[in-house]
């Protein structure tokens, strides 16, 4: 009798650990839909919760016919719907917000997206304060500090659970290098540090298989401004959605792998970081080792050459301003 209940308890706690609700806020958008599709295909996701100010239940109904085991639920665009969507989530992804049009910088999105992200962060702080929050909405360099300030105001901030998604920058760097060198992108792991916009994106080719590329201005610029290529090609119809969905799904999968106990899962991410705090820069993207609690270890930038040192200096200058802008926004518009 005693043995049986112990075995049952063990079995229960093992299955409880494997239950991973993942919520997408902005699920009916250009990123939200393919991201939700990829999450529906991920066996680590057991419950998929989709929320948007319009169209969440429709996307959910569609995805729910896919014959993978997870449940999919779409939520009404009400405060109650939002709260229910995030409640109990292990991971909350936030691609809600407007995308760029040609001629715009990511910072031009601030006025619209800052309040969207602030309000969604309030709901997560109230209903899912322990969730790992993956911020996709731009400008990431400012929206991530916004989430921190909201969580702080609610007394629930944990720096280990807040991530700005910069995965697309390493995805691009890997692909662009493979094109130049005629290699397989899976063999091209490029460290990209800094933030997620223009010159704040710093690829460290000196640490890659191809140190010669660290003086190749063309490929450095392509990694820094890869987003612009897509904005231009889409010609007013938005920015990267499909590649972003893949990058976001990869990041979510990595977080879930680490939650499940896998060791050595490393992803670059824009997190609260000690690396440049002495210069007043609280957030920085570098390689982050993930663990069950979220951030387990922040890797240093490592050795860089003179060219990369100059790139980093330029990045830090912009980053500081972007981060301060997010912090100030919440102070003035709580
Ligand atoms: P989109 O306009 O196609 O979709 C955005 C979705 O958000 C829409 O469905 C909209 O209804 C929804 N939304 C708006 N306000 C909301 C709210 N308060 N609550 C819930 N949902 C809300 O845009 P997109 O192409 O999917 O891009 C979304 C964001 O992601 C943009 O800010 C874009 O710049 C950013 N982005 C980031 C990266 C990155 O690497 N981090 C890459 C690409 C795009
Ligand atoms: C990207 O890098 O593709 C995104 O940040 C979207 C954009 O505005 O470029």
Instruction: Supply the DSSP string of 103-169, one letter for each residue.
Output: T--GGGGHHHHHHHHHHHHHHHHHH-TTSEEEE-SS-HHHHHHHHHHHHHHTT---GGGEEE--HHH
Atom of ligand 1 at shortest range from CA of 116: 18
Query: Is the minimum distance from the CB of 231 to ligand 2 under 6 angstroms?
Result: yes
Summarize the chain as % helix, strand, coil (round to 5).
50, 15, 30
Residue 138, marked binder:
yes
Do the beta carbons of residue 248 and residue 135 sit within 8 Å? no
**Cα dihedral 165, 86, 49, 57 sign:** negative
Compute the C-alpha angle 148/76/159, nearest 5°: 15
Do the beta carbons of residue 60 and residue 47 sit within 8 Å? no
Question: Of all protein residues, whose CA lies closest to atom 41 belonging to ligand 1?
Answer: 136
Query: Is the minimum distance from the CB of 106 to ligand 2 under 6 angstroms?
Result: yes
Query: Is the minimum distance from the CB of 127 to ligand 2 under 6 angstroms?
Result: no
Residue 77's Cβ-count burial label (10 Å; 0-12, 13-18, 19+) is middle
The yes-or-no verdict on residue 57 having pLDDT over 80 is: yes
Question: Of all protein residues, whose CA lies closest to atom 6 belonging to ligand 1?
Answer: 29
74 bridge partner residues: 50
In this predicted complex, what is the ipTM?
Answer: 0.99
Question: Of all protein residues, whose CA lies closest to atom 44 belonging to ligand 1?
Answer: 240
Kindly state the DSSP code that residue 265 receives in the 8-state scheme. E
pLDDT tens by residue, 195-230: 999 999 999 999 999 999 999 999 999 999 999 999
Measured in degrees and rounded to the nearest 5, phi and psi for residue 301 equal: -65, -35
For the question of whether the overall pTM of this predicted structure is more than 0.90, the answer is yes
The yes-or-no verdict on residue 72 having pLDDT over 80 is: yes
Residue 26, marked binder:
yes
pLDDT tens by residue, 18-53: 689 999 999 999 999 999 999 999 999 999 999 999
Give the binding-site residues of ligand 1, using a 6 Å CB cut-off.
25-26, 28-32, 51-54, 95-100, 109, 113, 116, 120, 136-138, 140, 165, 168, 196, 238-241, 244
Mean pLDDT value of segment 46-64:
98
pLDDT of residue 16: 44
* C-alpha of residue 96 to centroid of ligand 1, in Å: 4
Structural element, H or E, at residue 201: strand 201-203
* C-alpha of residue 238 to centroid of ligand 1, in Å: 10
Measured in degrees and rounded to the nearest 5, phi and psi for residue 321 equal: -65, -45
d(CA 185, CA 168): 14
Question: Of all protein residues, whose CA lies closest to atom 9 belonging to ligand 1?
Answer: 29
* C-alpha of residue 141 to centroid of ligand 1, in Å: 15
Question: Of all protein residues, whose CA lies closest to atom 4 belonging to ligand 2?
Answer: 227
Of these residues, 65, 154, 196, 299, which one is catalytic? 196
Residue 291, marked binder:
no
Residue 260, marked binder:
no
Question: Of all protein residues, whose CA lies closest to atom 9 belonging to ligand 2?
Answer: 227
Q: For residue 229, what are the CA distances in angstroms to 26, 43, 101, 226, 240? A: 23, 33, 11, 5, 9
Q: Is 196 a catalytic residue?
A: yes
Residue 137, marked binder:
yes
pLDDT tens by residue, 149-170: 999 999 999 999 999 999 999 9
Ligand nearest to the CA of 113: 1
Q: Whose CA is closest to 134, among 52, 214, 220, 245?
A: 245
Which residue among 237, 239, 244 is best mutated to probe the pocket of ligand 2, counting the most ligand atoms within 8 A of its Cβ?
239
pLDDT of residue 19: 81
**Cα dihedral 299, 243, 195, 22 sign:** negative
d(CA 30, CA 239): 9
d(CA 234, CA 146): 29
To the nearest whole number, what is the mean pLDDT of the chain? 95
Residues 6+ apart with CB under 8 A from 229: 222
Mean pLDDT value of segment 136-143:
98
Ligand nearest to the CA of 101: 2
Q: Whose CA is closest to 23, among 147, 102, 159, 133?
A: 133
Residue 319's Cβ-count burial label (10 Å; 0-12, 13-18, 19+) is buried
Residue 226, marked binder:
no
d(CA 157, CA 327): 14
């Amino acid at each position: 009798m005693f043995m049986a209940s112990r075995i049952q308890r063990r079995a229960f706690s093992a299955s409880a650990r494997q239950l991973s609700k993942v919520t997408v806020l902005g699920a009916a958008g250009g990123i939200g839909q393919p991201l939700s599709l990829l999450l529906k295909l991920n066996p680590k996701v057991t419950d998929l919760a989709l929320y948007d100010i319009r169209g969440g239940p429709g996307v959910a109904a569609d995805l729910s016919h896919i014959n993978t085991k997870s449940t999919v639920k779409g939520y009404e665009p009400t405060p109650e719907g939002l709260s229910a969507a995030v409640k109990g989530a292990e991971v909350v992804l936030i691609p809600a917000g407007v995308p760029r049009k040609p001629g715009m910088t990511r910072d031009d999105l601030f006025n619209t997206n800052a309040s969207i992200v602030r309000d969604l962060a309030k709901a997560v702080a109230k209903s899912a304060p322990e969730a790992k929050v993956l911020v996709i909405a731009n400008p990431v360099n400012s929206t991530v500090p916004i989430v921190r300030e909201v969580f702080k105001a609610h007394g629930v901030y944990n720096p280990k659970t807040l991530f700005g998604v910069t995965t697309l920058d390493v995805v691009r760097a890997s692909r662009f290098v493979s094109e130049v060198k005629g290699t397989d992108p899976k063999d091209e792991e490029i460290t990209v540090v800094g933030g997620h916009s223009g010159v704040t994106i710093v690829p460290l080719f000196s640490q890659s298989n191809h140190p010669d590329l660290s003086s190749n201005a063309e490929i450095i610029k392509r990694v820094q401004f890869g987003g612009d290529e897509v904005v231009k090609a889409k010609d007013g119809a938005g920015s990267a959605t499909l590649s972003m969905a893949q990058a976001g799904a990869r990041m979510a999968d990595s977080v879930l792998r680490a939650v499940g106990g896998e060791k050595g899962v490393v992803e670059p991410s824009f997190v609260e970081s000690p690396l440049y705090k002495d210069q007043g820069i609280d957030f920085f993207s570098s390689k982050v080792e993930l663990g069950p609690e979220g951030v387990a270890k922040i890797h240093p930038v490592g050795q860089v050459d003179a060219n990369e040192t100059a790139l980093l200096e330029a990045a830090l200058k912009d980053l500081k301003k972007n981060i301060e802008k997010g912090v100030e926004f919440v102070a003035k518009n709580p």
